[in-house]
Amino acid sequence: MAPGAKLLPVRVLGNDGSGTVADVVKGIDYAVAQGADVINLSLGGDVPLLGSDESFDAAIDRALDAGRVVVAAAGNEGLPACNQPSGQGRLLCVGSVDENRMRSLFSNFSGNSQALGIMAPGGSLTGPNILSTFNDGGYEELAGTSQAAPHVAGVAALLVEKGLRGQAAVQRIIATATDAGVAGPDSEYGAGIVNARAAVSGLPDAGQPGGGGAGSKGGAGSDQGAGPGDSAAKISLRGKLRIRTALRRGIRVRCRAAGAGRCRIAAQRKGRRVAAGSVAVRAGRPVVAAARFNRRGRRLLRRAQRRDRAVRLLVRVTLPGASVQLRRVKLRP
């Protein structure tokens, strides 16, 4: 689905497919800490792990608040429910369709709720099915919503490449789904069947004009949107500072996010971090975060001050559901 994506495999279950909620929670938190933009949860079925544990719900919320896309298998019981109803509607719950674009008989579905977000290819009881990794280290054709969910996760990865992250990517996937069943969103197919071509159509590449990639930059004191689809997400910081001011107050950034989470700032020089900080943010409410200098950073600035030299730093700002923003800051004696 996304051949240019970088994969981070996180093992949370044993060879027999069983495991604990605690291990799944650790895996989710680990993926967030490692910077994964999309988290796929092909879990459930005959392993009734999830959806009713407060620690699991909290882990999902942490990932979503951090601006990550969370994709989960709906389950294979043929029931009007999602096995993983966490996330307060922000999690993408995925059901399965067969080669004829009909709901797989085993696939869970919405019923009268909004539990199911979208459908994707997951095979059928009679095949053909989806070539999948298997417990013996090889491959096998399998059917299930666990096979459907990664199709959606792959489309989310394509959107990340285009500069859409978090709920902006989720809404794009929902909005561009191919309608199935009765006209419009329905109780059996949710928003429809995931459509990769429609999802990326018309979006510029990240870093290109109109794109929202990590390479986008703003001038000193700029106040720019932090990614396409996130008009409420903006950051502002000064491009020039006095060294003595930076030592006392840090590098201050005004953050306004499109969703709840944290505004995170990291400054580096020659690939080494010299300052960092974060602050909690709420949707649409501006706050100021300060990146304080660590020991290496303070030594660097004091040495530059003694020698009457300027220091140039690369500042990285991350907002929930928005593209990473890079700014250059010049610190003068």
The position carrying tokens 């930076």 is 246
Contacts (Cβ under 8 Å, ≥6 apart) of 104:
95, 96, 97, 98, 122, 123, 124, 125, 143
Task: Report the pLDDT value the prediction gives residue 111, as an integer from 0 to 100.
Answer: 65
DSSP per residue over 295-323, as a string? HHHHHHHHHHHHTT--EEEEEEEE-TTS-
Task: Please write the tens of the pLDDT for every residue from 9-52.
Answer: 999 988 887 888 899 999 999 999 999 999 999 987 444 444 56
> Would strands 223-225 and 287-293 be described as parallel, antiparallel, or unpaired?
unpaired
Q: What is the mean pLDDT of the chain?
A: 84
End-to-end CA distance of the chain: 51
Q: Is the pLDDT of residue 231 over 50?
A: no
Over residues 89-123, the pLDDT tens digits come to: 789 999 999 999 999 999 998 765 555 689 999 99
- Ordered by where they begin, the domains of the chain are 21-200 (3.40.50.200), 223-332 (2.60.40.10)
Q: H or E segment at 28? A: helix 21-33
Q: Which residues pair with 276 in a beta bridge?
A: 266, 292
CA distance 171 to 41: 19
279-299 pLDDT tens trace: 988 777 889 999 999 999 999
Dihedral sign from CA coordinates of 283, 284, 287, 292:
positive
DSSP letter string, 120-181? EE---SSS--EEEE-TTSSEEEE-SHHHHHHHHHHHHHHHHHTT--HHHHHHHHHHTPBP-S
> Letter for the amino acid at 201?
S
pLDDT tier at 54 (50, 70, 90 boundaries)? confident
pTM (predicted TM-score): 0.63
How confident is the model over 148-174, as pLDDT tens digits?
Answer: 999 999 999 999 999 899 988 998 999
As a whole-number percent, the residues of the chain with pLDDT over 70 amount to: 85
